[in-house]
Amino acid sequence: MDNSASLDQDQNHCSAINNSISLMQGSLPTLTLSGKIRVTVTFFLLLLSTTFNASFLLKLKKLTQKKEKGRKVSRMKVLLKHLTLANLLETLIVMPLDGMWNITVQWYAGEFLCKVLSYLKLFSMYAPAFIMVVISLDRSLAITRPLAVQSSIKLEQSMIGLAWILSIVFAGPQNYN
């Protein structure tokens, strides 16, 4: 009977987080020196990544606004915009969550918020990977079929949309733990 109860707890990630072994022994977890260093580095990288991704996004916006007066925006700039947005999303979701997790050492926000934030964390980690796949496919098609790809804006939009949709779908199972 006790084995089935512990098995159910292990299967539910969010519940298992709140029932850590150290809490069962009666001592509360504390933030160690290595944890403080990890938090400092995480928030430094958050600041750095946010700054660089946001500045690159603004640079792309300025470049695309100049080109709108008569020329098409290049496919690569559109793909880089989506990659930068995905990286910025990952930076703004994953890094603060990890930093706060290291500060608090345990989860206080409840099971619902655990599931929502775990979903967002996975979604923001899948998105840049899938956008990189789209960029790779686009570059491959540009080399192997240059004339067919030049005029195919629909294909680019479809691949980008599919990358975002797959990120949403693949992060979904996190909600059913």
Tens of pLDDT, residues 26-81: 576 778 888 889 999 999 999 999 999 999 999 988 887 766 566 777 888 899 99
Residue 16 lies in a domain: yes
The tens digit of pLDDT for each residue in 133-177 reads 999 999 998 889 887 776 678 888 999 999 999 999 999 887 776
- Which CATH number fits the domain that encloses residue 36? 1.20.1070.10
- What is the number of domains present in the chain? 1
Residue 52 lies in a domain: yes
Residue 26 lies in a domain: no
50-63: b or e for each residue (b if 16 or more CB lie within 10 Å)? eeebeebbeebeee
Residue 39 lies in a domain: yes
Residue 109 lies in a domain: yes
Q: Is the pTM of this model over 0.85?
A: no
Residue 14's pLDDT band, with cuts at 50, 70 and 90, is: low
Domain residues for the domain of 154 are 2-21+32-176
